[in-house]
Amino acid sequence: MLWRSIMLPSARSVYFRRQNRSSLTDTSKHTKLIKEAAKELGFSHVGIAKAQRLDAEARRLEQWLVQKFHGKMKYMDNHFDKRVDPTQLVPGAKSVVSLMYNYHNPVKQTDPEAPKISQYAYGKDYHKVIKDKLRSLLDLLTQEVGEVSGRCFVDSAPVLERDWAVKSGIGWTGKNTLLINPKSGSYFFLAELILDLALEYDQQMSDYCGTCTRCIDACPTGAIAASGYVLDSRKCISYLTIELRDEIPTAYNDKMDNWMFGCDICQEVCPWNRFSTRHDETAFEPPEELLEMKARDWQELTEEVFLRVFNGSAVKRTKFKGLKRNIAFLNSDE
């Protein structure tokens, strides 16, 4: 009995050391599995952050809302606690996996006078394309690890996507308020997996915008604050052509730079986008008809053509009526 009483604590210590080593090994293995599988699914960058309340980001969001910079996007007022605390979305959440999916396509519409569409809306709706990939990733994780509670998010729920991407170390917030990766630029969709699985967490990277003000200087509507990092959505061309349901204010006559859906100006002038590469996602390829439509074709756009050209596209968000409104507003500038 004396021998047992002496040896048992030592044996217990060895057991727990082994258990800890096993836990660390599993954490590393699961992290590697997620990152490798995500790359195989086409995601360009993957980072992981600890799931916890975003206190500093919550204060910034609250101030942004108080200043009414969200305009008529009333949904930004909703679910504040869920936006800043991932455990409100996934009880017991331990990790937030942030992913970047490239949509860069430098091809231009053939008619330089045709009203312009943001690159991200060239092809099929990214929500569905990327959500399907996230589900595949979550299914694989469940198969390999066992029961994992988690949810997939692609710009369709109260998640501070950019802030989590920064926390996960896959980029920094640029002065144009977009996420910038130093090796790949900013033409990316962001997506997240919130999991109740402990993983290895990545380090944040530094801000490399420096003294550059190209995005601020280039914005024709003055939507970016003079010092950068804050966007007044009410002045943003993307907001005016997509989110705003009312008539576009006449104050923006001659300031829309011929954009009828979205705007890429602050990305086009960003020096970091010299590292952008063309995407290889077939679902994001634009219909040939879209690229070849002339300015007059857009002015005479019918609902039949709208439904054909934008079948399965994110442009349907603004609806036929909204796109016609935008085109008419651009023509009123002439």
Catalytic residues: 155
Gyration radius (Cα) of the chain, Å: 23
* Identity of the amino acid at 93: A
Distance between CA atoms of residues 241 and 236, nearest Å: 9
**How many of the other CB atoms lie within 10 Å of CB of 7?**
10
Q: Hey, is 153 helix, strand or coil?
A: strand
Distance between CA atoms of residues 122 and 138, nearest Å: 27
Distance between CA atoms of residues 292 and 199, nearest Å: 48
Residue 77, φ and ψ in degrees, nearest 5: -80, -20
Distance between CA atoms of residues 50 and 265, nearest Å: 34
Asked if 158 and 84 count as a contact pair (C-beta separation under 8 A), the reply is no
Print burial letters for 32-66: b (CB count within 10 Å at least 16), e (below 16).
Answer: ebbbebbeebebbbbbbbebeebeebbeebeebee
Q: Where are the beta strands (DSSP E) in the chain?
A: 45-50, 95-102, 116-117, 150-153, 172-173, 179-180, 188-195, 259-261
* Identity of the amino acid at 125: D
